[in-house]
Amino acid sequence: MLNQSKIKNQFPIFSHKKDGKPLVFLDSASSTQKPKIVIDVLKNYYETSYANVHRGIYDLSEKSTEAYEKSRKTISKFINAKSAKEIIFTRNTTESINLIAYSFGNSNINKNDEIIVSALEHHSNLVPWQELAKRKHAKLKIIPLKKDLTLDFESYKKLLTKKTKIVAITAMSNVTGTIVPIEKFVKEARKYNAKILIDGAQSVPHLKTDVQKIDCDFLVFSAHKMLGPTGVGILYGKEATLDDMPPFLYGGDMISEVKQFNSSYAELPNKFEAGTPNIADVIAFEKAIEFIEEIGLENIEKHEKSLLKYAKEKFSKYPEVKLYTPKDCKNAGGILSFTVKGIHPHDLATIFNEDNVCIRTGQHCAAPLVESLGEIALNRMSFYVYNDFNDIDIAKKSLKKALKLFK
Ligand SMILES: Cc1ncc(COP(=O)(O)O)c(C=O)c1O
């Protein structure tokens, strides 16, 4: 187990109680809380060091640029990219995927080409591909889910053809917590020369990620789901692939030379970063990564698996509870979705909230997946470094209370 109290103490939000009740935050898959060092960097930066990047020749601007680019380097090392040029800053995972769907998609996908996604996708990794398929009269194919909530690899192999231009799949589901063995999926896509995008929004914060080992063309994730600020998304792309793609947004900072009627564009990564970027939040994100690395991703993964196992044991004791998680914890991250017979998820979450327990309810931005499970909505608990067994015990007490109320 991680040293929970030491970790929790570093997150100011946990010192605030509601009616004397401690905060039990079980919604990190949506967005995580922020440690003090991340909050402090933001405050200090605005108070002492703020200036725009990439343009001033005065000290403040040069230092800002240095810190901004240092963060890019730290991120590239964190996922073992070959070069910091392969890291593009966006607003979030959603924007990263849209950038690829527009830039790569518009210039490489044509009539009757095929795009493959999976049945586990978040709307962010589904809707942009639906729209691209419509724009280009291409075909969208979906890898089905097996009863055990893992992806059907054999069906995937049959979906791939010479017309497959891109495979866009999640590495970890935000609903079932299913961990997808992405390397296997990449290898198969390579046989058809298809590009492959990994949605790492849920996996990168929790599992060690090595883009060179995975050999994916793109990996996307969000800072706010890994202790960092909101407003920072990462798009990793192989340098050669990004080089071949046209810019997504046009304007300042992404140009090389501008004439009245024509312009040429900057090299990577600036080519994809038009306008003033989210400087402070990018700089603060570096601290979040350092925080995670200090704990160690292997320790985080182990910790979350033990929380998942514990929560499964505690919650499955109630016959009214139906869990939506792979049977084997080996195939799942720290996410536990469930329903409670006779209690609508929104009612359950309201009762949990009375005890200052935050869980997520609804379709989790994955409506087709939730519907395919035969549910209209699910409850979801998700864990991160600051959670402990006591959090689950408190949530279990809230569940017991709800069951009594709805008897
Ligand atoms: C698997 C997955 N993909 C994409 C997203 C979208 O992330 P963002 O809202 O940061 O764009 C999420 C957010 O929950 C997610 O869980």
CATH of domain 4-26+296-405: 3.90.1150.10
pLDDT reported for residue 298: 97
Q: Above 90 in pLDDT, residue 144?
A: yes
pLDDT reported for residue 55: 81
Report the alpha-carbon distance of residue 242 to residue 246 in Å, rounded. Answer: 8
CATH of domain 39-293: 3.40.640.10
CB 58 within 8 A of CB 70: no
Q: Which atom of ligand 1 is nearest to the CA of 31?
A: 14
pLDDT-based confidence at residue 34 (cuts at 50, 70, 90) = very high
Q: What is the mean pLDDT of the chain?
A: 97
Q: Is 311 helix (H, G, I), strand (E, B) or coil?
A: helix
Calculate how far, in angstroms, residue 224's C-alpha sits from the geometric centre of ligand 1: 10
Q: What tens digit of pLDDT does each residue of 173-223 get?
A: 999 999 999 999 999 999 999 999 999 999 999 999 999 999 999 999 999
The whole-model pTM stands at 0.98
Tokens (6 digits) for 218: 């793109």
CB 53 within 8 A of CB 279: yes
Task: Select from 237, 203, 221 the least CA-distant residue to 331.
Answer: 203
**In sequence order, what are the residues at sequence separation of 6 or more whose Cβ sits closer than 8 angstroms to the Cβ of residue 118?**
142, 143, 145, 151, 156, 169, 170, 180
Separation in Å, CA 333 to CA 153, 226, 328: 19, 14, 11
Q: What tens digit of pLDDT does each residue of 224-251 get?
A: 999 999 999 999 999 999 999 999 999 9
Handedness of CA 21, 26, 28, 30 (dihedral sign): negative
CB-count burial class (<10 Å; 0-12, 13-18, 19+) for 297: middle
Q: What tens digit of pLDDT does each residue of 286-310 get?
A: 999 999 999 999 999 999 999 999 9
Tokens (6 digits) for 83: 């070069």
Calculate how far, in angstroms, residue 256's C-alpha sits from the geometric centre of ligand 1: 33
Report the alpha-carbon distance of residue 19 to residue 356 in Å, rounded. Answer: 9
Question: Would you say the CATH fold of 39-293 matches that of 4-26+296-405?
Answer: no
Q: Is 229 helix (H, G, I), strand (E, B) or coil?
A: coil
| Domain boundary assignment for the chain | 4-26+296-405, 39-293
Q: What number is the average pLDDT over the span 116-133?
A: 98
Asked whether 94 lines ligand 1 (CB < 6 A), one says yes
pLDDT reported for residue 407: 85
- Hey, which of 28, 91, 95, 124 would you mutate to test ligand 1's pocket, going by the most ligand atoms within 8 Å of its Cβ? 124
Q: What number is the average pLDDT over the span 249-264?
A: 96
pLDDT-based confidence at residue 4 (cuts at 50, 70, 90) = confident
pLDDT reported for residue 1: 63
